[in-house]
Amino acid sequence: MVLPHREQLRRGEVGSGRIYGKGRKTRTVTLNQKACKAVMSYLSVRSKASTDPHLFLTKYGKGIGSRSVHNVVARHLNEAGIPDASAHALRHTFATQHVRRGTKLEVVRQALGHASLETTSVYVHLAREEMDRELERHAL
């Protein structure tokens, strides 16, 4: 992710950041207020010596790659007691929960960077299956 606009972060507004996805496609993602606060906190302790525009840096002050992001996320998930999860599982959870809570499918599609709404529609089925399990578990 490229550094978000600091002014948005400072004012506590919803912010945005640019990320690079599959096929070197670039897209802008929304950062809610909680994410902006977390980024500001991180930036306050991150090395200020680097001029690299990436948010997360190696010990040499260069932007980390996607494999490193996946490794860091996997390590933190493991430390949190969620050993079999992954960055991709978090992405699925994000999408499923948004669909489950009523976020428009087109908005979820854009957030995930899918080219087709058909690709995103799989999360409708996942959310439905989850809802059915919950209703069965808590049946009256």
CB-neighbour burial class of residue 1 (10 A; exposed 0-12, middle 13-18, buried 19+): middle
Domain boundaries, the chain: 1-49, 86-140
- pLDDT score of 72: 92
Residue-wise pLDDT tens digits, 93-127: 999 889 888 899 899 999 888 889 998 988 888 77
pLDDT, position 79:
95
Q: Which of 46, 45, 13 has its CA nearest to residue 30?
A: 13
Q: Tell me the pTM.
A: 0.72
State the first-to-last Cα distance of the chain, in angstroms, to the nearest integer: 46
Residues whose CB is less than 8 angstroms from the CB of residue 14 and which lie 6 or more positions away in sequence, other chains included = 8, 30, 31, 32, 33, 36
